[in-house]
Amino acid sequence: MSDQPSSQLDRGVYWESLTLIERLHRQFLDLLKSDLEKLGYSDINNVQSLILYNIGDDNLTVGDLTHRGYYLGSNVSYNLKKLVENGYLDQERSRHDRRSSKVQLTEKGADLRGKLAELFDTQVEQLDESSRLDGDELTEMIRMLKAMERFWGDMTRFVR
């Protein structure tokens, strides 16, 4: 009997990978929520801050954000509305199509985005110092997750 792990997939391994992805995402959101509280932000939640971070210097439509697929499971329109109401984003309606609008960061939004970038840089440094993962391992993890993303995307197309 070999000491090497089996490369054969089974439902248990597949299910464990799914639950791990979900737990990791939840842990990251919890960490982000805690960091926002430490910075004194009470008018923005963790998902809204990720939307803000991903907008960056761009001037995007609501459709652009949803098509990027970053916010599945969240109501992008509601979150954008809250970000505008709380002064993190400017929203401008299209002159040609009143149903469409573009959003961009305000000064307040850009300030928070800068703080989020610093938080992420700190996390990268801490991960590097902990020696839990190196750059090659993280790159391999990204490759594997992208393979899962392609698989699920292909499966979604077959279901329709």
Total domains in the chain come to 1
Give the number of C-alpha atoms closer than 13 A to the C-alpha of residue 6, restricted to the C-beta side: 6
d(CA 28, CA 9): 27
Does the residue 28 lie in any domain? yes
Which tokens hold the place of 95? 């002159």
Binning pLDDT at 50, 70 and 90, where does residue 53 land?
very high
CATH number at residue 126: 1.10.10.10
Supply the mean pLDDT for the chain. Answer: 88
Q: With respect to residue 104, please indicate whether it lies within any of the assigned structural domains.
A: yes
pLDDT band, residue 26 (cuts 50/70/90): very high
- Mean pLDDT calculated for residue range 67-84: 79
pLDDT for residue 27 is more than 90: yes
1 located within any domain: no
Across residues 63-82, what is the average pLDDT?
77
Give the global pTM: 0.83
Q: How high is the pLDDT of residue 92?
A: 87
pLDDT band at 1 (very low <50, low <70, confident <90, very high): very low
* pLDDT tens digits, one per residue of 89-142: 999 887 777 677 889 999 999 999 999 999 999 999 999 899 888 889 999 999
- Please, are residues 103 and 55 in contact by the beta-carbon 8 Å criterion? yes
In a domain, 5, yes or no: no
Residue 48 maps to a domain = yes
Containing structural domain, residue 50? 12-159
Would residue 7 count as lying in a domain? no
Return the percentage of the chain with pLDDT > 70, whole number. Answer: 89
Determine, yes or no, domain membership for 2.
no
Average pLDDT for 29-48: 96
The pLDDT assigned to 65 comes to: 79
pLDDT of residue 5: 58
With vertex at residue 37, the alpha carbon angle to CA 34 and CA 42, rounded to the nearest 5 degrees, is: 130
Q: Does position 24 have pLDDT exceeding 50, yes or no?
A: yes
**Residue 2 predicted with pLDDT over 60:** no
Residue 40 lies inside a defined structural domain of this protein: yes
Q: Quick one: which of 112, 120, 124, 101 has its CA closest to 52?
A: 112
Handedness of CA 10, 135, 112, 60 (dihedral sign): negative
